[in-house]
Amino acid sequence: MPASRITVLTGAGISTGSGIPDFRGPVGVWTLHPERMRLLDIDAFMSDREVRVAGWREWRDHPAWTSEPSVAHRALARLADAGGLGVVLTQNFDGLHQTGGLSGSQVVEMHGTLHTTSCTRCGEHVDTAAVVASLIANPDPACATCGGILKPDIVYFGEALPADAIDRAVEGAEKCDVFIAIGTTLSVYPVASLAGLAVDSGADLIIVNAEPTEYDRLASEVIREPIDIAVPALVDRYLGEGRSTSHYGN
* Residues with a known catalytic role: 111
* Cβ-contact 182, 210 below 8 angstroms: no
The DSSP annotation for 25-57 comes to STT-HHHH-GGGGGGGBHHHHHH-HHHHHHHHH
* Cβ-contact 117, 126 below 8 angstroms: yes
Question: How would you write 129-154 as a 3-class SS string?
Answer: HHHHHCCCCCCCCECCCCCCEEEEEE
Query: 90 burial class (0-12, 13-18, 19+ CB within 10 angstroms)?
Result: buried
The DSSP H or E segment spanning 21 is none
* Cβ-contact 207, 234 below 8 angstroms: no
